[in-house]
Amino acid sequence: MVVAIDGPAGAGKSTVARATARALDFTYLDSGAMYRTAALAYLERGGRPAERAAEIEIELGERVLANGRDVTEAIRRPEVSEAASQIAVEKGVRAALVAKQRELLDRGDWVAEGRDIGTVVAPDAALKIFLTASPEARARRRALELGADWRTVLRDQALRDEQDRSREQSPLRAAADAIELDSTDRAVEDVVGQIVALVRDARRGSLPTPAGPG
């Protein structure tokens, strides 16, 4: 089965998705790392982003490998984040990476994280979570990770949010059947515990109707 966790940057997706996968003994898929790896290849080699995305061999795991080269740290640089968000607007880039993602998700149990997992990549996912947090909380978390000033991060984040939400191809939005969770004032373990419980319900085929806002 596939558990989809979508949401904006800094909502805690990676931490929550990784911990949920570990708790359930599912495999974790970081789709953002694919956009980042394609963006790095484009920054380094130029040409057309869609060609870079289609040709690149990406291996995800403890380390991220691009054509066998370890790019785990390189893809987290701020200029790569920005380039990832920019090339992610292109239909050809998305088509190439979505195909790679679907191939992986075809077999086995996964927690897949991204922007469009529940809406485009795996619309039949057994459980869809849309994880959010306040912009300030998200910027502070990301600043801690990067050792950067949170106000600067907040500015970059607002730009990337806007790009991700307003793009024509697979804009960032919650699927109609996604359960929205706000992680602003919640501990990671608490959110993970809730998702694990929801997965167990989904497995029993008794998924509760998502609660409305508030």
Minimum separation from the CB atom of position 36 to ligand CDP (A):
5
Whichever of 76 and 203 has its CB closer to ligand CDP, that residue is 76
In terms of phi and psi (left: phi > 0; alpha: psi -120 to 50; beta: otherwise), the region of 31 is: alpha
Q: Token pair of 96, please?
A: 């190439």
Site stretch for ligand CDP (CB under 6 A), options 18-26, 42-50, 109-117, 197-205: 109-117
* Contact positions with ligand CDP (CB under 6 A) in 123-152: none
User: With binding defined as CB under 6 A, does residue 88 bind ligand CDP?
Assistant: yes
Binding mask 19-48 for ligand CDP (x = CB under 6 A): ------------xx--xx------------
Q: Token pair of 188, please?
A: 């990671």
Nearest CA to 73 among 87, 63, 83? 63
- 211 Cβ contact list (under 8 Å, min separation 6): 179
**Out of 3, 50, 71, 84, which residue is the one contacting ligand CDP (CB under 6 A)?**
84
How many DSSP H helices and E strands does the chain contain?
8, 8
Minimum separation from the CB atom of position 212 to ligand CDP (A):
26
